[in-house]
Amino acid sequence: MSDLSDEQLMNLVSEGKTEAFGELVRRHQNRAWGIAYWFLKDALQAEDLAQEAFLKIFEAAPRYEPTAKFTTYLNRVVSRLCFDWIEKNKPKLIKKIPVEQNRSAISSPEQNLLEDELEIKLRKAVQKLPKRQRMAIILQHREELSYQEISETMGTSIKAVERLLARARDQLQEELAEFEKYL
């Protein structure tokens, strides 16, 4: 099964072959969880949401038409579930998340503190973005999707994606203006 494309696996799932679905989950569970986590900043909720996304995909398998890449389809399902969750729940405040310890040995304690502060401020600023801007930023920077892939995922035009990203960048730049002299 590992030599089949995602789309071929989905066709097998639509024929009732559950082992093909297991392969799809193995291939893409980290992607689904990652998008949900970066959007919600809640690991347990991200796990639940990723599972719900795969359940929805499994249930919709008989109607699946490979008009786009499977990953685009998965991203769309996950992003819609994130949007729904935000609508139903008040966003949680971000707790201090430890910054990865991959600093240079020559960094000063002051530089390390500044980097920690910038990382926390950036995460908070991303969480403050309107949900569609936040999703566009996450899909571009975390998932490294092209504008075309983001537009397909979010069900919008490339021009709309450009506007979402431009507004998000403007807001992030405003939020992080105090750090500009250090960047």
Token pair, residue 94, equals 């971000």
Helix and strand totals (H; E) in the chain = 8, 0
Q: What is the mean pLDDT of residues 29-56?
A: 93
Separation of alpha carbons 139 and 72, rounded Å: 11
Q: Which amino acid is at 136?
A: A
Name which of 35, 22, 30 is nearest 140 in CA terms.
35
- The CATH class of the 109-182 domain is mainly alpha
Q: pLDDT (tens digit, 9 = 90+) per residue, 88-137? A: 875 443 443 444 444 454 556 766 676 777 778 888 888 889 999 999 99
Domain ranges of the chain: 6-88, 109-182
Q: pLDDT (tens digit, 9 = 90+) per residue, 64-90? A: 888 888 999 999 999 999 988 888 875
- The CATH class of the 6-88 domain is mainly alpha
Q: Which amino acid is at 162?
A: E
Contact status, residue 83 vs residue 151, Cβ threshold 8 Å: no
